[in-house]
């Protein structure tokens, strides 16, 4: 007699690596598509998809290969003979945070449909009855946990299935029995939470009792948004006794954290956001406890109420959940601002600045840097760069936009990639046409190159790329100098030699010539005039000494500039 079917995707990175279960899917086509995507990313990788059918008669899974690809086909898997050992042994263990998080992950679809959370499920007989009547939801959840547990042990899946089923049945039996025996405290809709929590704390101090009472109160609220408001009301009405207050506050914090761990619960808290960027703005305000921020003006009232609580350091579990949501959303492939690359870049910078300032053990700075580096990499995709440069009036503006992007990127590899885009743009025919033969005056074009080179030298590019870019701007400057003969014009005429030297050095030190061969050429010409017979004669004259001191000062300044760029 055949039972339920799922498909396991096995992955092997290379010939030396071992086979590992990557993921299990209920749908065959989805499993095969996942296998194709995995093997496409690494040429030495191998994948295999097996159809797993649970045999009810023999209480074990039957495995049949349905798909194989890659450098090495998978050999027959050895039968696992170890003993299954679950971390949860009693119904009370299922109420621990890690176990509740597992329940949330494997029952997300059903829990979101009924707008409930694991804490309610563990304390409400009516919810348990609804879950059992839903069909195969509970059995599928057990299988998912069993598959994941077996992949990291020497025990087979069926061993874990058996243990999990026993644990689930014990838990269900306890909830039903406690309900029949009236051991689950009631919480009428208009009752005072402080009194109920205080009485439970005084009577038995069991978290199970208070959680059951809170679950009974939430039974009257059918939507996550209504549950959040009810829970926040509880948080505003805590017992006066310090111990009872702390006892109640911890449970309210845990309940709200579970609600907002669901995508549907988070949407109920934040409201409908126009894009991922707006979602992250609101989450950042919540994490920082900034209840007066403009970003929360259009959010439901629950968002501002929760921000006030976080500001008062009352809800650490909620803050930790929000931190996890922030990191998860930052790593999503979706754009922050799909309508505008410039707005996206600006928002990413603002978010990074804000979150790094308030980073702590809950939201570590290194995790933030990693997340923003990943998002920075997406900004450098060719289609995004094309959109960024669209409608630029010329190559000079394209370079300005690319250079401005650098301060908004995180990660050395991303800045190295940006340097490649800048080199490519500067070496294009369009750039050559604008800078060398453009309509603007030669000194204006040279000043633009000098300004762009200075920004690159101040940037955070890898040292090698920074020097190469600076040399590229200097090389373009030399083309302008040679084509326009601008330095020859400065040297021309009947002016005194010291004045010619001063004019050349002013160009080199005043931001009109890029640092490198351009400034060195101007410096060499100035020294030639200074050392000429006419120049030496002028330097000895009374009115030549102030000019000489000025020239010496500019030479020192130029030396400093050249040293910094070397």
Task: Specify the pLDDT at position 211.
Answer: 96
pLDDT digits (tens, 9 = 90+) for 363-379: 999 999 999 999 999 99
Per the CB < 8 A criterion, the answer to whether 212 and 177 are in contact is no
Q: Write out pLDDT tens, residues 435-462.
A: 999 999 999 999 999 999 999 999 999 9
Looking at the chain, the whole-number percentage of residues with pLDDT higher than 90 is: 68
Q: Is the pLDDT of residue 136 over 90?
A: no
Does residue 359 come out as left (phi exceeding 0), alpha (psi in the -120 to 50 range) or beta? beta
Q: How many residues does the chain have?
A: 566
Question: Does residue 58 contact residue 32 with C-beta atoms inside 8 Å?
Answer: no
pLDDT in tens, 458-510: 999 999 999 999 999 999 999 999 999 999 999 888 889 999 999 999 999 98
Whether pLDDT at 1 is above 60: no
- Please name which of 279, 316, 20, 43 lies closest in space to residue 150, comparing C-alpha atoms: 20
> What's the pLDDT score for residue 53?
82
Cα–Cα distance list, 48 to 44, 111, 157 (Å):
14, 32, 18
Residue 477 CB coordination number (10 Å): 28
Q: Lowest-confidence range among 259-268, 439-448, 453-462, 557-566? A: 557-566
Lowest mean pLDDT among 80-89, 113-122, 358-367: 80-89
Q: pLDDT band at 82, cuts 50/70/90?
A: low
How far apart are the C-alpha atoms of 220 and 118, rounded to whole Å? 16
**Domain boundaries defined on the chain:** 5-70, 91-181, 381-483, 493-565
Report d(CA 319, CA 315) in Å as an integer.
6
């Amino acid at each position: 007699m055949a039972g339920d079917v799922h498909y396991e995707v096995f992955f092997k990175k290379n010939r030396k690596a071992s086979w590992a279960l990557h993921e299990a899917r209920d749908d065959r086509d989805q499993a095969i598509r996942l296998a194709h995507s995995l093997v496409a990313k690494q040429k030495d990788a191998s994948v295999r998809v097996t159809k797993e059918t649970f045999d009810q008669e023999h209480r074990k899974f039957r495995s049949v290969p349905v798909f194989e690809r890659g450098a090495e086909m998978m050999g027959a898997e050895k039968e696992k003979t170890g003993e299954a050992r679950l971390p949860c042994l009693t119904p009370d263990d299922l109420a621990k945070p890690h176990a509740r998080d597992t329940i949330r992950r494997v029952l997300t679809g059903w829990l979101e449909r009924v707008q409930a959370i694991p804490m309610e499920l563990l304390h409400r007989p009516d919810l348990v009855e609804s879950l059992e009547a839903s069909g195969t939801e509970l059995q599928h959840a057990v299988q998912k946990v069993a598959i994941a547990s077996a992949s990291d042990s020497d025990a087979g899946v069926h061993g874990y299935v058996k243990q999990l089923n026993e644990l689930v049945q014990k838990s269900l039996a306890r909830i039903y029995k406690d309900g029949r025996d009236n051991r689950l405290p009631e919480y009428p809709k208009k009752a005072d939470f402080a009194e109920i929590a205080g009485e439970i704390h005084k009577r038995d101090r069991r978290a199970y009792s208070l959680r059951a009472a809170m679950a009974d109160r939430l039974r009257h609220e059918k939507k996550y948004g209504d549950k959040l408001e009810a829970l926040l009301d509880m948080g505003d009405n805590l017992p006066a006794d310090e111990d009872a207050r702390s006892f109640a506050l911890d449970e309210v914090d845990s309940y709200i954290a579970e609600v907002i761990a669901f995508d549907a619960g988070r949407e109920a808290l934040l409201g409908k956001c126009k894009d991922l960027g707006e979602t992250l703005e609101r989450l950042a305000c919540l994490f920082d406890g900034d209840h007066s921020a403009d970003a929360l003006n259009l959010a439901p009232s629950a968002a501002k109420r929760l921000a006030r609580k976080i500001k008062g350091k009352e809800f650490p579990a909620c803050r930790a959940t929000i931190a996890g949501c922030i990191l998860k959303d930052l790593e999503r492939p979706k754009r922050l601002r799909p309508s505008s690359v410039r707005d996206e870049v600006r928002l990413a910078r603002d978010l990074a600045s804000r979150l790094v300032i308030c980073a702590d053990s809950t939201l570590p700075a290194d995790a933030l840097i990693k997340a923003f580096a990943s998002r920075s990499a997406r900004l450098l995709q060719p289609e995004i760069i094309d959109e960024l440069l669209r409608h630029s009036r010329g190559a000079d503006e394209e370079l300005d936009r690319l250079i401005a992007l650098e301060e908004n990127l995180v990660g050395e590899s991303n800045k190295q990639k940006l340097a490649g885009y800048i080199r490519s743009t500067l070496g294009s025919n369009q750039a050559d046409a604008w800078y060398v033969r453009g309509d603007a005056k030669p000194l204006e074009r040279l000043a633009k190159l000098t300004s762009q080179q200075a920004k690159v030298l101040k940037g955070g590019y890898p040292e090698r790329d920074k020097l190469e870019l600076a040399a590229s701007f200097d090389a373009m400057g030399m083309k302008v100098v040679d084509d326009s003969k601008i330095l020859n014009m400065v040297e021309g005429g009947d002016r005194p030699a010291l004045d010619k030297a001063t004019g050349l050095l002013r160009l080199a030190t005043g931001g009109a010539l890029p640092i490198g061969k351009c400034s060195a050429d101007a410096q060499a010409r100035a020294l030639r005039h200074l050392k000429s017979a006419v120049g030496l004669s002028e330097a000895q004259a009374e009115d030549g000494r102030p000019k000489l001191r000025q020239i010496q000062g500019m030479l020192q300044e130029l030396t400093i500039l050249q040293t910094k760029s070397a």
